[in-house]
């Protein structure tokens, strides 16, 4: 990949440490100053990052991972902010 592209991961094995909040705030700050930003909410048990960013939870990474013929595509999951 390109040297000027960052891809930080926010991880922890303990619930309640602020992973979703940190991810949402950092990505929102980067996007507000014009940095193209992609957030992938990977919490399958308690998805929350979409709510913090004001997105819907109609489709998710969890839906894409389902092993059936009706699973979501990446194009159905990606949401763009309004404005």
Tokens encoding 49: 């990052």
25 against 50, higher pLDDT: 25
How does pLDDT run across 12-40, given as a tens digit for each residue? 888 899 999 999 999 899 889 988 888 88
48 against 64, higher pLDDT: 48
pLDDT at 67: 61
Q: Is the pLDDT at 54 greater than 70, yes or no?
A: yes
Q: How many residues does the chain have?
A: 83
Measured CA to CA, the distance from residue 6 to residue 75 in angstroms comes to 23
Q: Is the pLDDT at 81 greater than 60, yes or no?
A: yes
pTM of the model: 0.67
């Amino acid at each position: 990949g390109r040297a000027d592209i960052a891809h930080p991961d926010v991880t922890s094995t303990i619930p309640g440490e602020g992973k979703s909040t940190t991810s949402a705030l950092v990505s929102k700050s980067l996007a507000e100053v014009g940095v193209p930003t992609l957030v992938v909410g990977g919490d399958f048990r308690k998805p929350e990052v979409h709510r913090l960013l004001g997105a819907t939870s109609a489709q998710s990474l969890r839906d894409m991972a389902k092993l059936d013929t009706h699973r979501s595509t990446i194009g159905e999951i990606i949401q763009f902010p309004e404005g």
